Amino acid sequence: MIIQSDPTLAAEVRRYGKFDINACLQCGSCTVTCDLTSDSTSFPRRTIQYVLMGLRRLLRGSLEPWLCYYCGDCSTACPRQTEPGESMMTFRRYLTAQYDWTGLSSKLYQSKVWEIGALLVVGAFITLLIWLFHGPLITDHVELNTFAPPEIVHLCDLILAGMLAFFLFSNAFRMYWFTMHPDSDAGVLDVMRGFKQDGFGYITYQGEKVRIPLSSFLAEARTLIVHAFTQKQFMSCKDNMGRWIKHWLLASGYVLMLFMVVVFLLWFQTDNIYPLYHPQRWLGYYATAVLIFGTVEILIGRIRKSEQIHKFSDFSDWLFPILLLLTVLSGILVHIFRYEGLPLATYYTYAIHLIIAGPMLVVEVPFGKWAHLLYRPLALYFNAVKESAIQNQLTKDEVQ
Ligand code: SF4
Ligand code: SF4
């Protein structure tokens, strides 16, 4: 395999966030400090080397940036204050843009004008839809379902969910292609054991291509499911339990709300006032409470900058929690106005709620920060498949 060096890579990566090109000594203290590295994964130093040496295709084929859970220990240990933890964050943004075939992600990460413009365009489109399709405004009492017929809202939700899934999964397929397929340059040298992990279906062992059995892919499916639901890798960094709990609560509220709105809207959006113990109410209250707690906690952390992970904030790091918080607050207002029997306030606030929530989902989920909810467990899965194939080969050799 001929590996080409591209001297423009480092400058390109820097457009996605902080990355100190000149200061790294290659001392390796960051990798030694990291609790998540293993025999075959040697980040952040190796990933930094890829960028410094202009190894574009190796960077694109690397899973390592997704295996970092940004505890910040490496940044504290770095004698040159190059902030390797934040560099890994920058690499994740860069990779998100590489996986995205539409090219939108790259534009959104590199330009505030593009990001705000995209949100405004989608917001204007949703405003137009509401204006064209809203029902009559009944003003002597609240009838939200007459103003916004749930069948129409549900249909729009399903179309939106289909679009999001299409973009997200097609981008995830590109991630698989770059990191696992034999035509990619995903090779990660594991010199100690004579392995080169180089793609879906194969590992190269002492110069010979060895097929990865399907059983490795099936056996490790559990890894994908467990990490997708629990995000337990957060806890593998020392002293990270609190962060894992906060992250899990926020993600659970977000996914629960998405499910209630997309799949169960006809049950969730109703003009009936249910008793407090009804699941429609307490599930809604749970999601609302954890979303408010999670977003406010993130924003306060970013303002204070007291934790390593909040020391540097990209524009996109601010935008998503702000939009999510505004979505939740407008949803609460709709709830209050409806219970207070204020028809016009309910309808207008509901329209504003949709105009905030729609662009946030369309722009941020497949193209922005929240795509990592899919990329992280996928990376852990692909990595586990490769590791399992290596172990199988070693065992076979011992038996022979
Ligand atoms: S931020 Fe933490 S998990 Fe990420 S590379 Fe540094 S030490 Fe490892
Ligand atoms: S600790 Fe700092 S200087 Fe040393 S290899 Fe890591 S990033 Fe470079």
Clarify whether residues 27 and 85 are in a common domain: yes
* pLDDT tens per residue across span 281-305: 899 999 999 999 999 999 999 999 8
C-alpha 82/C-alpha 84 separation (Å) is 6
C-alpha 20/C-alpha 24 separation (Å) is 7
Clarify whether residues 94 and 136 are in a common domain: no
Clarify whether residues 144 and 65 are in a common domain: no
Long-range contacts of 192-199 (CB under 8 A, 24+ apart): 192/39, 193/39, 193/390, 193/394, 195/40, 195/390, 195/393, 197/40, 197/386, 197/389, 197/390, 198/1
Is 352 close to ligand 2, i.e. is its CB under 6 Å away? no
Atom of ligand 2 nearest to the CA of 23: 3
> Residue 255: inside a domain, yes or no?
yes
Clarify whether residues 37 and 160 are in a common domain: no
Clarify whether residues 90 and 109 are in a common domain: no
Interval between CA 306 and ligand 1 midpoint (Å): 17
Name the residue with the closest Cα to ligand 2, atom 4.
27
Domain range for 277: 104-178+223-378
pLDDT tier at 108, thresholds 50, 70, 90: very high
Among residues 335, 341, 224, the alpha carbon closest in space to that of 288 is found at 335
Domain endpoint, select from 99, 129, 157: 99
Clarify whether residues 150 and 95 are in a common domain: no
Q: Are 157 and 389 in contact (CB under 8 A)?
A: no
Q: Which H or E run contains 126?
A: helix 112-133
Clarify whether residues 111 and 94 are in a common domain: no
pTM over 0.85? The answer is: yes
Tokens 């994740």 locate to 92
> Residue 158: inside a domain, yes or no?
yes
Interval between CA 29 and ligand 1 midpoint (Å): 11
Interval between CA 20 and ligand 2 midpoint (Å): 10
Clarify whether residues 270 and 243 are in a common domain: yes
How many distinct structural domains can be found in the chain? 2
Domain endpoint, select from 83, 99, 115: 99
Average pLDDT, stretch 240-246? 88
Clarify whether residues 241 and 166 are in a common domain: yes
Q: Are 126 and 358 in contact (CB under 8 A)?
A: yes
Is 25 close to ligand 2, i.e. is its CB under 6 Å away? yes
Interval between CA 68 and ligand 1 midpoint (Å): 5
pLDDT tier at 200, thresholds 50, 70, 90: very low
Clarify whether residues 239 and 290 are in a common domain: yes
> Residue 63: inside a domain, yes or no?
yes
Name the residue with the closest Cα to ligand 2, atom 6.
30
Clarify whether residues 233 and 335 are in a common domain: yes
- Sheet with 188-190, strands from edge to edge, namely 188-190, 195-197, 202-205, 208-211
C-alpha 179/C-alpha 376 separation (Å) is 13
Clarify whether residues 143 and 235 are in a common domain: yes
> Which residue type occupies 240?
N
* pLDDT tens per residue across span 314-344: 888 899 899 999 999 999 999 999 989 999 9
